[in-house]
Chains A and B, each alone.
Chain A
Protein backbone atom coordinates (compact mmCIF):
# COMPACT_ATOMS: atom_id res chain seq x y z
CA UNK A 1 0.00 0.00 0.00
CA UNK A 2 1.09 3.58 -0.64
CA UNK A 3 1.36 5.47 2.64
CA UNK A 4 0.34 9.12 2.77
CA UNK A 5 1.92 11.32 5.43
CA UNK A 6 0.16 14.63 5.98
CA UNK A 7 1.46 17.63 7.92
CA UNK A 8 0.81 19.42 10.11
CA UNK A 9 -1.78 17.43 12.05
CA UNK A 10 -3.29 20.68 13.29
CA UNK A 11 -2.96 24.29 12.31
CA UNK A 12 -4.15 27.58 13.75
CA UNK A 13 -4.33 30.62 11.46
CA UNK A 14 -5.89 34.09 11.31
CA UNK A 15 -8.53 35.35 8.92
CA UNK A 16 -6.96 36.57 5.68
CA UNK A 17 -3.81 34.50 6.21
CA UNK A 18 -2.41 32.04 3.68
CA UNK A 19 -2.05 28.45 4.89
CA UNK A 20 -0.30 25.47 3.36
CA UNK A 21 -0.85 21.79 4.09
CA UNK A 22 1.65 19.18 2.93
CA UNK A 23 1.23 15.57 1.88
CA UNK A 24 4.03 13.13 1.18
CA UNK A 25 3.56 9.77 -0.54
CA UNK A 26 5.72 6.74 0.19
CA UNK A 27 6.39 6.41 -3.54
CA UNK A 28 5.80 8.38 -6.75
CA UNK A 29 2.04 8.77 -7.34
CA UNK A 30 2.32 10.63 -10.65
CA UNK A 31 -0.09 13.44 -9.67
CA UNK A 32 -2.81 10.98 -8.71
CA UNK A 33 -3.73 13.08 -5.69
CA UNK A 34 -6.95 14.62 -4.40
CA UNK A 35 -7.71 16.96 -1.50
CA UNK A 36 -10.93 16.94 0.54
CA UNK A 37 -12.45 19.31 3.07
CA UNK A 38 -14.54 17.91 5.93
CA UNK A 39 -16.48 20.29 8.15
CA UNK A 40 -17.54 19.09 11.63
CA UNK A 41 -20.41 16.60 11.46
CA UNK A 42 -20.40 16.56 7.66
CA UNK A 43 -19.09 14.26 4.93
CA UNK A 44 -15.90 15.12 3.03
CA UNK A 45 -16.15 17.30 -0.07
CA UNK A 46 -13.75 17.17 -3.01
CA UNK A 47 -11.60 20.29 -3.47
CA UNK A 48 -8.76 19.34 -5.81
CA UNK A 49 -8.01 16.39 -8.10
CA UNK A 50 -5.07 15.46 -10.32
CA UNK A 51 -2.94 17.37 -7.79
CA UNK A 52 -3.87 20.82 -9.11
CA UNK A 53 -7.32 20.79 -10.76
CA UNK A 54 -10.08 22.63 -8.92
CA UNK A 55 -13.36 20.72 -8.53
CA UNK A 56 -16.52 22.44 -9.79
CA UNK A 57 -17.77 25.12 -7.45
CA UNK A 58 -14.67 25.26 -5.24
CA UNK A 59 -13.46 28.83 -4.52
CA UNK A 60 -10.32 29.90 -6.35
CA UNK A 61 -8.55 30.68 -3.07
CA UNK A 62 -7.90 26.93 -2.89
CA UNK A 63 -5.04 25.59 -5.00
CA UNK A 64 -2.98 22.42 -5.23
CA UNK A 65 0.54 21.79 -6.41
CA UNK A 66 3.30 19.22 -6.35
CA UNK A 67 4.66 16.23 -8.15
CA UNK A 68 6.33 12.92 -7.51
CA UNK A 69 5.96 12.21 -3.81
CA UNK A 70 5.41 15.76 -2.49
CA UNK A 71 2.13 17.69 -2.74
CA UNK A 72 0.57 20.69 -1.08
CA UNK A 73 -2.77 22.42 -0.64
CA UNK A 74 -2.76 26.20 -0.29
CA UNK A 75 -5.60 28.32 0.99
CA UNK A 76 -5.23 32.01 0.22
CA UNK A 77 -6.97 34.66 2.30
CA UNK A 78 -8.42 32.29 4.92
CA UNK A 79 -12.15 32.67 5.52
CA UNK A 80 -14.15 31.58 8.58
CA UNK A 81 -15.95 28.95 6.50
CA UNK A 82 -12.60 27.25 5.80
CA UNK A 83 -12.43 25.94 9.37
CA UNK A 84 -12.45 22.20 8.76
CA UNK A 85 -10.30 19.11 8.51
CA UNK A 86 -8.44 18.52 5.27
CA UNK A 87 -7.39 15.15 3.87
CA UNK A 88 -5.20 14.16 0.95
CA UNK A 89 -5.83 10.93 -0.97
CA UNK A 90 -3.73 9.14 -3.55
CA UNK A 91 -5.35 7.16 -6.35
CA UNK A 92 -2.33 5.99 -8.28
CA UNK A 93 -2.87 2.67 -6.50
CA UNK A 94 -5.69 1.43 -4.27
CA UNK A 95 -6.92 4.60 -2.59
CA UNK A 96 -5.29 5.67 0.65
CA UNK A 97 -5.75 8.84 2.68
CA UNK A 98 -3.46 11.04 4.70
CA UNK A 99 -4.13 11.34 8.42
CA UNK A 100 -5.75 14.75 8.10
CA UNK A 101 -5.07 18.35 9.12
CA UNK A 102 -7.43 20.14 11.49
CA UNK A 103 -7.54 23.86 10.65
CA UNK A 104 -8.74 26.27 13.31
CA UNK A 105 -8.96 30.04 13.58
CA UNK A 106 -6.45 31.83 15.75
Chain B
Protein backbone atom coordinates (compact mmCIF):
# COMPACT_ATOMS: atom_id res chain seq x y z
CA UNK B 1 0.00 0.00 0.00
CA UNK B 2 1.34 3.39 -0.99
CA UNK B 3 1.81 5.70 1.99
CA UNK B 4 3.05 9.28 2.10
CA UNK B 5 3.42 11.03 5.43
CA UNK B 6 4.32 14.68 5.66
CA UNK B 7 5.85 16.38 8.70
CA UNK B 8 7.09 19.84 9.68
CA UNK B 9 3.80 21.44 10.66
CA UNK B 10 4.03 24.73 12.48
CA UNK B 11 3.46 28.43 13.03
CA UNK B 12 6.23 30.74 11.81
CA UNK B 13 6.72 34.47 11.45
CA UNK B 14 6.81 36.24 8.10
CA UNK B 15 10.29 36.25 6.60
CA UNK B 16 11.36 33.09 8.36
CA UNK B 17 12.23 29.62 7.02
CA UNK B 18 10.82 26.16 7.43
CA UNK B 19 11.52 22.68 6.06
CA UNK B 20 8.89 20.04 5.33
CA UNK B 21 9.53 16.33 4.92
CA UNK B 22 7.52 13.52 3.33
CA UNK B 23 8.38 9.88 3.98
CA UNK B 24 7.21 7.43 1.33
CA UNK B 25 6.54 3.70 1.52
CA UNK B 26 4.75 1.00 -0.44
CA UNK B 27 6.36 1.74 -3.80
CA UNK B 28 9.82 2.15 -5.30
CA UNK B 29 10.36 5.80 -4.38
CA UNK B 30 13.45 6.20 -6.57
CA UNK B 31 11.43 5.40 -9.71
CA UNK B 32 8.92 8.25 -9.50
CA UNK B 33 8.72 12.00 -9.67
CA UNK B 34 7.33 13.68 -6.58
CA UNK B 35 5.44 16.89 -6.00
CA UNK B 36 4.38 19.42 -3.40
CA UNK B 37 0.88 20.85 -3.70
CA UNK B 38 -0.73 23.28 -1.30
CA UNK B 39 -4.22 24.40 -0.36
CA UNK B 40 -4.88 27.65 1.47
CA UNK B 41 -7.73 27.49 4.03
CA UNK B 42 -11.06 26.99 2.26
CA UNK B 43 -9.37 27.55 -1.11
CA UNK B 44 -8.43 25.49 -4.13
CA UNK B 45 -5.35 23.47 -4.93
CA UNK B 46 -2.05 24.93 -6.14
CA UNK B 47 0.79 22.79 -7.49
CA UNK B 48 4.07 24.34 -6.32
CA UNK B 49 6.98 22.01 -7.11
CA UNK B 50 8.01 18.84 -8.92
CA UNK B 51 11.24 16.86 -8.77
CA UNK B 52 12.20 14.08 -11.15
CA UNK B 53 12.89 10.57 -9.85
CA UNK B 54 16.65 11.13 -9.98
CA UNK B 55 16.64 14.85 -9.00
CA UNK B 56 17.85 15.72 -12.52
CA UNK B 57 15.08 18.27 -13.03
CA UNK B 58 13.06 20.47 -10.72
CA UNK B 59 10.15 22.74 -11.59
CA UNK B 60 8.42 25.43 -9.54
CA UNK B 61 5.30 27.55 -9.67
CA UNK B 62 6.03 31.24 -10.13
CA UNK B 63 4.53 31.96 -6.69
CA UNK B 64 7.39 30.11 -4.94
CA UNK B 65 10.25 30.26 -7.46
CA UNK B 66 13.43 31.55 -5.84
CA UNK B 67 12.07 31.06 -2.30
CA UNK B 68 11.27 27.33 -2.10
CA UNK B 69 13.55 24.38 -2.91
CA UNK B 70 12.40 20.82 -3.52
CA UNK B 71 14.82 17.97 -2.93
CA UNK B 72 14.81 14.25 -2.22
CA UNK B 73 16.93 11.54 -0.64
CA UNK B 74 16.20 8.27 -2.39
CA UNK B 75 18.23 6.33 0.20
CA UNK B 76 15.77 7.52 2.86
CA UNK B 77 12.60 7.45 0.70
CA UNK B 78 12.11 11.06 1.69
CA UNK B 79 10.99 14.20 -0.12
CA UNK B 80 11.74 17.69 1.21
CA UNK B 81 10.54 21.24 0.74
CA UNK B 82 12.73 24.02 2.06
CA UNK B 83 10.76 27.26 2.35
CA UNK B 84 12.49 30.64 2.80
CA UNK B 85 11.21 34.20 3.05
CA UNK B 86 7.80 32.94 4.07
CA UNK B 87 4.79 35.22 3.56
CA UNK B 88 1.29 35.21 5.01
CA UNK B 89 0.00 34.00 1.64
CA UNK B 90 2.08 30.81 2.05
CA UNK B 91 -0.29 29.76 4.85
CA UNK B 92 -1.76 26.48 3.64
CA UNK B 93 -2.01 22.74 4.01
CA UNK B 94 0.98 21.27 2.18
CA UNK B 95 0.59 17.89 0.50
CA UNK B 96 3.23 15.68 -1.01
CA UNK B 97 1.99 13.69 -3.95
CA UNK B 98 3.43 10.93 -6.08
CA UNK B 99 3.51 11.64 -9.80
CA UNK B 100 2.29 9.12 -12.29
CA UNK B 101 4.28 8.70 -15.50
CA UNK B 102 2.67 11.97 -16.50
CA UNK B 103 2.12 15.04 -14.35
CA UNK B 104 -1.01 13.94 -12.53
CA UNK B 105 -0.96 12.80 -8.92
CA UNK B 106 -2.02 9.25 -8.16
CA UNK B 107 -1.34 9.22 -4.40
CA UNK B 108 -1.35 12.01 -1.83
CA UNK B 109 -0.27 12.31 1.77
CA UNK B 110 -2.64 13.57 4.49
CA UNK B 111 -0.90 16.96 4.49
CA UNK B 112 0.88 19.16 7.00
CA UNK B 113 -0.27 22.64 7.98
CA UNK B 114 1.98 25.68 7.69
CA UNK B 115 0.82 28.96 9.21
CA UNK B 116 2.75 32.16 8.55
CA UNK B 117 1.70 34.89 10.94
CA UNK B 118 3.17 37.43 13.30
Listed in ascending order, the chain A residues whose CB lies under 8 Å from chain B are: 32, 34, 36, 42-46, 49-50, 55, 87, 89, 91, 94-100
Residue positions of B touching A, CB distance < 8 A:
35, 44-47, 50, 59, 61, 95, 100, 102-111
Contact A91 B59 (CB under 8 A): no
* A44 contact set on B, CB distance < 8 A: 45, 95, 105, 108
**Chain A min CB distance to B59 (Å):** 7
CA gap between A87 and B37 in the complex, in Å: 13
Q: Do A43 and B109 contact each other (CB < 8 Å), given the known contacts A34-B104, A89-B104, A95-B103? A: yes
Could you tell me if B106 and A96 are in contact, using CB atoms closer than 8 angstroms?
A: no
Please determine whether B44 and A99 come into contact, CB atoms closer than 8 angstroms. Answer: yes
| In the complex, chain A residues whose CB is within 8 Å of the CB of B110 | 42-43
Most buried by A among B44, B61, B104: B104
Could you say which residues of chain A place their CB within 8 Å of the CB of B105?
Answer: 34, 36, 44, 46, 89
> A49 contacts which chain B residues (CB < 8 A)?
100, 102, 104, 106
- Give the chain B neighbours of A100 by CB distance below 8 A: 44-45
The 4 closest A-B pairs by CB, nearest first: A91-B103, A34-B104, A95-B47, A43-B108
Instruction: Please list 22 pairs of residues, one from A and one from B, whose beta carbons are closer than 8 Å in the complex, sorted by A's number.
Output: A32-B103, A34-B105, A36-B105, A42-B110, A44-B95, A45-B108, A46-B104, A49-B100, A49-B102, A49-B106, A50-B102, A89-B105, A91-B103, A91-B104, A94-B47, A94-B103, A95-B47, A95-B104, A97-B44, A97-B46, A97-B47, A98-B44
- Taken together as a complex, chains A and B put the C-alpha atoms of A91 and B7 apart, in Å, by 27
Query: Measured between alpha carbons, how far is A43 from B47 in the docked complex, in Å?
Result: 14
Residues on the A chain within 8 Å of B47, using CB: 89, 94-97
- Closest A residue to B108 by beta carbon equals A43
Shortest distance from the beta carbon of A62 to any chain B beta carbon, whole Å: 15
A94–B61 touching, CB < 8 Å: yes
